[in-house]
Structure 1
Amino acid sequence: MRKLPVVVAIPTKNEAENIARTVASVIGHFEAVVVVDSDSTDDTCAIAKSQGAEVVPYAWDGRYPKKKQWCLDHVHTGTPWLLFLDGDETPSPALLAELRRIFSQPVSAAAFDIPLGYWFAGRRLRHGHTIVKRALMDRTRCRFPVLGDLAAPGMGEQEGHYQPLADGPVVRLRSPIEHEDLDPVRTWFDRHNRYADWEAWLEHHPQVREEIRLAKTRQGRLFHKAPLKPLLSFAYAYVYRRGFLDGRAGLDYALAMTFYRWQIALKARELSRLTSSPTGRSR
């Protein structure tokens, strides 16, 4: 079978629960599969190698570029096209077929936005989740923005919730990447607790916040400026997008995202009290 002229980069840290399935889903389909690992303390690297992936160590120096841009700059740079997958993601068979059609002829796009098939609490959400990722890009025409958020908590070595910027057309694909995390649901809350720290910090740094808004999808830019985000998040996911059709998982997901947005607002208010207090502490 002809391999797609694309390098798959999988940034990882402690993904032993998921990495075998992710690597197995792409080995043999793409020109190279590279796990870029940040000093995992579990068996992520050994499992990835056993599945046929190349493993490259990564250590962040606390500055830009962060991890994904580092991948664009250093991982198999002789191949222009790079597909990012998280350690718990797999391309759907329909996506592999769609990519084969695209790369069977010259490609004019600079990047492709790919819908995310999202699993929550063990169930695939068919309605309430509508995220699109700019996961496939021509590295010669795409870069992640350099932002003033290095002092922000929460994200560390990873780029935040924004898209790489493309110097050329961006095309949205129809078929999804499946995001199914086999870790317990508490890890979802652990991650989003850190993400909320970053989002709350942005509320007090409007210039950086605006830079990030411009690096989001159209939907992300609109939501970024919307008021009453916790209520809007629930109404959008559970009612407008008919998340109620996903049963209990749809309700759990809508509530979890509502809590996440509430958490951001609460942390932002706490930061306001801390910065306004003469002693630097809330009263």
Structure 2
Amino acid sequence: MALDLTIAIPVRNEEQNLPKCLKAIGSDLARHVVVIDSGSTDRTAEIARFYGAEVVDFVWDGKFPKKRNWYLRNYTPATKWVMFLDADEILTEAFKTELREKLEGNSDCLGYWLRYTVYFLGKQNKGGYFLHKLALFQVGAGEYERIDEDQWSRLDMEIHEHPVIEGKVGMIRSKIDHQDIRGINYYVTKHNEYSSWEAARFLKLKNDSKATGRWSWKQRLKYGLMRTPWLGPAYFLGSFVLMGGFRDGTRGFAFSILKLAYFTQIYLKIRELESAGSAEIKPVEKSHLV
């Protein structure tokens, strides 16, 4: 029987990734599958309906809430659980088996951290980066942290905001496959936008004791290095050495170099914002990101 679960997939122009994502979910895993679409101009909505998913249209006004919180507030799922899944994330059989065990069991958890494989240049990485997100939780147990943007980015979905859950949180250890097939050009464009958002977010929140008090030790370490040029090199060493990126050879080295570039961009954009006395970086034109 289907789990008492809604799977929500935020999208924009995802006709390449979405079919594989929806096929992997299947027809008997969740009571409800919904695709939250930001005005796609390709076949995304058509594909979603073909696989039996509901399509909800989202238009961002540049303020809080963004896409996931907007959905939770305006289309509150009627199921006990909600799981947010990206279109390039593929549910494995091992994950679905463990998901059933957790949600049908007697656990007292209000949410679960999910773990993901990482693919780069068409192959699964053996090391280099450990991706995990708190993307599964009980409806009403919390929502994604609030960051008021006032249009200082064009990213209409929560990027590195985490859900704030007041209660016990567990982990599903079986991994979801993260397989974005849109290539390096998309990867670089995406991280250019993300780095602008990270820089502006850091300057907005650095003196907010309530927000910083919720940071994990990893976030504290990351944000402690934000104003230094060592942020990029630290992430390179962490990716290539500590997290085993060297096991992927030249692919792993290139992946770690891109991590260095991304975090160096954040440092430089913080410096640029501070010099300008502003928390506004001009966003990349015509964002194609969800």
Q: Same fold (TM over 0.5)?
A: yes
Q: Does the 8 Å contact 2:92/2:176 carry over to 1?
A: yes
Alignment gaps of 5+ in structure 1: 277-283
Q: Secondary structure at the match of 1:174?
A: strand
Q: Distance in 2 between matches of 1:193 and 1:177?
A: 25
The answer for the alignment partner of 2:187 in structure 1 is 188
The answer for the alignment partner of 1:37 in structure 2 is 37
Alpha-carbon RMSD across the aligned residues, in angstroms, is 2.0
The answer for the alignment partner of 1:20 in structure 2 is 19
CA separation of 1:214/1:176 partners in 2, compared to 1, >3 Å: closer, same or farther? Answer: farther
Q: Secondary structure at the match of 1:194?
A: helix
- Deviation per CA, 1:56-76, whole angstroms, max 9, x where unpaired? 111122222211112222346
The answer for the alignment partner of 1:199 in structure 2 is 198
Q: Distance in 2 between matches of 1:40 and 1:137?
A: 27
Shift, 1:101, TM fit? 0.9
The answer for the alignment partner of 1:280 in structure 2 is none
Q: Does the 8 Å contact 2:114/2:173 carry over to 1?
A: yes
TM-score scaled to structure 1, two decimals? 0.90
Are 1:122 and 2:122 matched, yes or no? yes
The answer for the alignment partner of 1:232 in structure 2 is 234
Q: Distance in 2 between matches of 1:48 and 1:235?
A: 41
Q: Distance in 2 between matches of 1:268 and 1:236?
A: 22
The answer for the alignment partner of 2:82 in structure 1 is 82
Matches within 5 A, 1:258-273: 258-273=260-275
Shift, 1:154, TM fit? 5.0
Q: Distance in 2 between matches of 1:172 and 1:122?
A: 27
Higher mean C-alpha displacement, 264-273 vs 190-199? 264-273
Q: Distance in 2 between matches of 1:149 and 1:211?
A: 17
CA separation of 1:209/1:185 partners in 2, compared to 1, >3 Å: closer, same or farther? Answer: farther
The answer for the alignment partner of 1:177 in structure 2 is 176
Ranked by relative contact order (alpha carbons within 8 Å, sequence separation 6 or more), the top structure is: 2
Length, aligned pairs only: 274
CA separation of 1:220/1:173 partners in 2, compared to 1, >3 Å: closer, same or farther? Answer: farther
CA separation of 1:260/1:18 partners in 2, compared to 1, >3 Å: closer, same or farther? Answer: same
Q: Does the 8 Å contact 1:12/1:37 carry over to 2?
A: yes
TM-score scaled to structure 2, two decimals? 0.88
- Deviation per CA, 1:66-119, whole angstroms, max 9, x where unpaired? 111122223462112001001111122111010111122234111100112111
Q: Distance in 1 between matches of 2:92 and 2:246?
A: 24
Q: Secondary structure at the match of 2:42?
A: coil
Q: Distance in 2 between matches of 1:66 and 1:221?
A: 24
Q: Does the 8 Å contact 1:27/1:53 carry over to 2?
A: no
Q: Distance in 2 between matches of 1:15 and 1:8?
A: 16
The answer for the alignment partner of 1:279 in structure 2 is none
Q: Does the 8 Å contact 1:147/1:211 carry over to 2?
A: no
- Deviation per CA, 1:28-71, whole angstroms, max 9, x where unpaired? 21111111101001111111111222211111222222111122
Q: Secondary structure at the match of 1:109?
A: coil
Percent of residue pairs bearing the same amino acid type? 30
